[in-house]
Amino acid sequence: MQYYSLNHNAPDVDFKTATLYGQAPDKGLYFPKYIPRFSEKFLQNLSTLSSEEIGVEVIRPYIENEIPEADLKRIVSETLNFPIPLVPVNDNIWSLELYHGPTLAFKDIGARFMSRCLGYFAKQIEKRIVVLVATSGDTGGAVAHGFYDVPGIDVVILYPSGKVSPVQEKQLTTLGKNIHALEVKGNFDDCQRMVKQAFTDKELTENIFLTSANSINVARWLPQQFYYLLALKQWNQAQPPVISVPSGNFGNICAGLLANASGMPVDHFVAAVNMNDVVPRYFETKRYEPLPAKATLSNAMDVGDPSNFIRVREIFHDSFPGLSEKMSSEKFTDQQTEAAIEKVYQAFHYTLDPHGAVAFLGLDSYLKKHPGKKGFILETAHPVKFPESVERITGTKIPIPEHVQPIMSAQKKSILIDPDYVQLKQSLSSLF
């Protein structure tokens, strides 16, 4: 498969190059040259296939022979080595729980797949590969766990000291081995500025291959299709589902739309958002007008200019009628989000996190306008990640899942630095 830049001013590349570099030299996002079709046989036999078989079938056309069969199978099965159940919430709504991975969020899936692809390609690169990321919390944890112990790759994470939650800090700083945490005495913007400067530092990049492993990387975006098909495998209703996705950068929903364009039956997609409403406004006005991000309860969706929305448009060849037939978008306030967490807990004994609650509101609203339809939400984070809101609203303590408990008592290891590029460079040269 070849990938082109959505800025149309860079050469086409293969999967390996798109994965290693993340972004095209013209700063565009990579997009596959064509959208493959699932075979009828694959869709009919879904219930008989394993997660690994489904994943390999979905991703194979995007990689072709750049990764041999046995390696791809291993990569997919290591990516999907935790349960992804579709559980009923009420008569019409199910929840696809994507939060049973190591950092309790759906980003684990994309991060695990990308890390293993990079690990595979690392063998073909002479320089040491260093993944350099700035994080305000969640992404860093998923990347750190995704790359943990992957041979040939080191990860350096910059995070703002005192500005991530205690659980998040543990996820960033306790792994050790090839994961290195730099605790910056500054804010997230300082971390991001330092990372950006490193990428332009010729002296540094002479010795190491720096990559950002960020959320626009095709190796993070494409494997998110897996769980849409894993949900379809568990969907035992006569009609195709309506799917509601809590959206921030729109990578997750874009993977679902891609699976649908490849032939997966889906009735409709709802992009549920918080008060960062650039996309609902786009559907109303046909104008895409980004705004600065506003802080909300569902903070992983606080995005004012969603980077993957351009891919969503590309899937529909930028046809507004085509896109609005398949997808709609609705925004919800924090107050509505809190009320939804309470209502769903009281009425159905199901605990939503704030992101899942926004998705629930979106689906519930759509189904009320379209009686007779059924669907599921993507539950993107474990409610235990948001105890201060969820436990307050439900009045119930949420136990920390067993598989993450060891992290909570592990020793924090970080290197404290000033928000100064020279200190980042010194740290990197002492590490490598």
Binding test (CB under 6 A) with ligand PLP, winner from 135, 136, 380, 394: 380
Scanning 130-288, the segments in alpha helix (DSSP H) are 138-147, 166-173, 188-199, 202-207, 218-221, 225-234, 251-261, 278-285
Minimal distance, residue 81 CB to ligand PLP, in Å: 20
Binding of residue 222 to ligand PLP (CB under 6 A): no
* From 86-94, 164-172, 245-253, 389-397, span contacting ligand PLP (CB under 6 A): 245-253
Binding of residue 331 to ligand PLP (CB under 6 A): no
CA distance 189 to 186: 8
How is residue 336 written in tokens?
């509505």
Binding of residue 241 to ligand PLP (CB under 6 A): no
β-sheet with 415-417: strand ranges across:
208-211, 128-134, 153-160, 179-184, 415-417
Q: What is the SS3 assignment for 298?
A: coil
Minimal distance, residue 255 CB to ligand PLP, in Å: 8
Q: What track of x and - describes contact with ligand PLP for positions 15 through 54 (by CB under 6 A)?
A: ----------------------------------------
Strand partners, 273: 331
Q: Which of 111, 108, 109, 106 is nearest to 96 (CA)?
A: 106
CB-CB contact of 3 with 229 (8 Å): no
Indicate the pairing of strand 268-273 with strand 93-97. Answer: unpaired
Q: Which is nearer to ligand PLP, 102 or 246 (CB)?
A: 246
Binding test (CB under 6 A) with ligand PLP, winner from 153, 208, 300, 424: 300
Binding test (CB under 6 A) with ligand PLP, winner from 92, 115, 173, 247: 247
Binding of residue 250 to ligand PLP (CB under 6 A): yes
Strand partners, 376: 94, 243
Binding of residue 145 to ligand PLP (CB under 6 A): no
Binding of residue 107 to ligand PLP (CB under 6 A): yes
Minimal distance, residue 248 CB to ligand PLP, in Å: 3
* From 43-51, 52-60, 247-255, 318-326, span contacting ligand PLP (CB under 6 A): 247-255
CA distance 295 to 136: 13
Minimal distance, residue 412 CB to ligand PLP, in Å: 22
Could you tell me where the beta strands, DSSP code E, fall in 275-374?
327-331
Minimal distance, residue 142 CB to ligand PLP, in Å: 8
Give the burial class of 375: count Cβ atoms within 10 A of its Cβ; 0-12 exposed, 13-18 middle, 19 or more buried. Answer: buried
Residue type (1 letter), 165: S
Minimal distance, residue 279 CB to ligand PLP, in Å: 10
CA distance 330 to 253: 14
Binding test (CB under 6 A) with ligand PLP, winner from 115, 168, 174, 252: 252
Number of residues that bind ligand PLP (CB under 6 A): 15
Q: Which of 216, 227, 217, 259 is nearest to 55 (CA)?
A: 227
Binding of residue 95 to ligand PLP (CB under 6 A): no
CA distance 323 to 253: 13
Binding of residue 383 to ligand PLP (CB under 6 A): no
Minimal distance, residue 214 CB to ligand PLP, in Å: 11
Q: Which is nearer to ligand PLP, 404 or 417 (CB)?
A: 404
Q: Please, what's the b/e burial string for 109-129 (b: 16 or more CB within 10 A of its CB; e: otherwise)?
A: bbbbbbbbbbbbbbeeeeeeb
* From 242-250, 288-296, 317-325, 421-429, span contacting ligand PLP (CB under 6 A): 242-250
Residues that bind ligand PLP (CB under 6 A): 105, 107, 138, 246-252, 300-301, 355, 380-381
